Amino acid sequence: MKRAAQVETLRRVVSTRLPTRWGTFQTIGFERKLSNGSARVETALAIVMGDVTQGTPLLRIHSQCFTSEVLGSLRCDCREQLEIAMSAIAEEGRGLVIYEHQEGRGIGLMAKLRAYALQDKGFDTVEANHALGFASDYRDFTLPAAILRDFGISRVRLLSNNPQKARVLSDAGIEVVAQVPCEATPNEHSLGYLRTKKEKLGHALTLKHLVLFRVISWIVGLLQEEHDPLNHTNKHEITFWTNKRKKITKRLRSSSSLRVSRMQFKSCEADA
**Which amino acids are annotated catalytic?**
137, 139
> Are 136 and 201 within 8 A, CB to CB?
yes
Contact residues for 84 (Cβ-Cβ < 8 A; gap 6+)? 159, 182, 184, 257, 258, 259
Q: Is 156 helix (H, G, I), strand (E, B) or coil?
A: strand
Give the three-class secondary structure for 48: strand
110-118 contact pairs (CB < 8 A, 24+)? 112/67, 113/67, 116/75
Torsion of CA 97, 194, 140, 40, to 10 degrees: -80
Do residues 165 and 61 make contact, with C-beta atoms less than 8 angstroms apart? yes
DSSP, residue by residue, 98-132: EEE--HHHHT-HHHHHHHHHHHTTT--HHHHHHHT
Neighbour count for residue 225 (Cβ, 10 Å): 11
Size of the chain, expressed as the number of residues it contains: 272
CA pair distance 220, 74, nearest whole angstrom: 18
- How many C-beta atoms lie closer than 10 Å to residue 180's C-beta? 22
